[in-house]
Amino acid sequence: MAFDNFGKKFNSFFAMDAEDDDPETVATTAPQPTQAAPQSAPSKPQFRGNKVVSMSNPNEQTAKIVVYEPRIYSDAKEIGTNLLNNKAVVVNFDRIENDAATRIVDFLTGTVFAINGEIRRVGEQIFLVTPANFQIDGALAENLGNDFDLQMTE
């Protein structure tokens, strides 16, 4: 008895009426094709209480990760600009002198602090620098270091 009332409330809340499941009702409510009657203005489609919400937003921009191999210190400004534009940056310091690489890392550390981002070492001379809207999980550099140690001792 009480379950019948609950079932009716549940069905009405989710717009699941018994008549919605009846295939004959659906067939009779479908619009019948008319002979080429010109319409002056397109009419709005009529929806019955559709409660389905789209989870994807086509207007939403996708997150981007930019890869840089700086050659001189002034390349740091370009990397910082990408961070300010909410883009993550992977920086590879293989082709730059150690002194310049250290200066760039110092610059990026200050930039990351200012925008509440994060900087992580992900390789021997590779850093991942992210703005506040990214989250970095894991400790790849520590794992890489352990793997290299194991290979050298064997």
Q: Six-digit token pair at 16?
A: 């699941």
> Which amino acid appears at position 95 of this protein?
R
Residues 31-62: pLDDT tens digits?
A: 555 555 555 555 555 555 666 666 666 555 67
Cα angle 124, 128, 134 (rounded to 5 degrees) comes to 155
65-153 has CATH 3.30.1180.10 classification: no
How distant, in Å, are the alpha carbons of 67, 91, 134 from that of 83?
A: 12, 12, 11
Please give the pLDDT value at position 90.
Answer: 95
Q: Comparing 16-20, 86-90, 118-122, 146-150, which segment has the lowest mean pLDDT?
A: 146-150
How distant, in Å, are the alpha carbons of 10, 33, 34, 40, 91 from that of 37?
A: 42, 10, 7, 10, 64
Q: Give the highest mean pLDDT range of 5-14, 63-72, 131-140, 143-152.
A: 63-72
b/e burial code for range 67-91 (CB count within 10 A of at least 16 → b): ebebeeeebbeebbebbeebbbbbb
Q: Three-state DSSP class for 53?
A: coil
Please give the pLDDT value at position 149.
Answer: 44
Q: What is the distance, to the nearest Å, from the Cα of residue 108 to the centroid of all Cα atoms in its chain?
A: 24
Residues 64-117: pLDDT tens digits?
A: 889 999 999 999 999 999 999 999 999 999 999 999 999 999 999 999 999 999
Which parts of the chain fold into alpha helices (H)? 2-13, 23-29, 75-84, 98-115, 140-153
Residues in the chain: 154
Residue 123 has pLDDT above 60, yes or no: yes
